Amino acid sequence: MVASILVVDDEKNAREGLAQALDGSFGKDAINVETAEDGMAAMRRLSEKAFDLMIADIKMPNLDGMELLKRSREKQPTLEVLMLTGHGTIEMAVEAMRLGAKDYLQKPVNLDELELVVRRILDQQKLLSENEYLRTKLREKNGYQELIGSSPAMKKL
């Protein structure tokens, strides 16, 4: 499965640099990276397509990263979000995590750390997806058994 990542940053060089770094680290066969220049553009992209991960800067014009985080989680509840900032405080990081961000990195981003965090988020997402799939299969398999022979009335017979 190819993971879909949306990189949102109003600084063109940062946005394109992150996209290229991710493509280089994971390869085009593993991820599909798309970009948006601000929060409003990101919301339009989220309306058009489901993403696995959004990497967003906090300080942006029009719609800042914190508001984007809130709105994006309403639109796509399973979307994982990684926040970036060059002007971070502990309070801001705590607020981002409280709003549902999976992690928070300082700019300039250490590319090795970025790769590690993105890999962890995507691996965790894959495990959750596989777990849900297996639970569904198990319910389907056991559903008929429960229906046929495990009810209290059937056990009395």
Q: What token pair was written down for 126?
A: 């894959």
Residue 148: which domain range? 3-156
Q: What is the pLDDT of residue 137?
A: 85
The 10s digit of each residue's pLDDT in 62-105 is 899 999 999 999 999 999 999 998 877 888 888 999 999 999 99
Please tell me the distance from the alpha carbon of residue 38 to that of residue 59, in angstroms, as a whole number.
9
CATH of the domain at 135: 3.40.50.2300
* Gap between the terminal Cα atoms of the chain: 48
Q: What is the pLDDT of residue 129?
A: 86
Q: What is the pLDDT of residue 49?
A: 96
Kindly tell me the sign of the dihedral angle through the C-alpha atoms of 90, 91, 92, 98: positive
Q: What is the pLDDT of residue 52?
A: 96
Those residues of the chain that have pLDDT short of 50 are 147
Q: What token pair was written down for 64?
A: 């800042």
| Bridge partners of residue 85, in order along the sequence | 106
Number of domains in the chain: 1
Cα–Cα distance list, 29 to 3, 22, 43, 81 (Å): 9, 12, 25, 22
Please tell me the distance from the alpha carbon of residue 14 to that of residue 30, in angstroms, as a whole number.
22
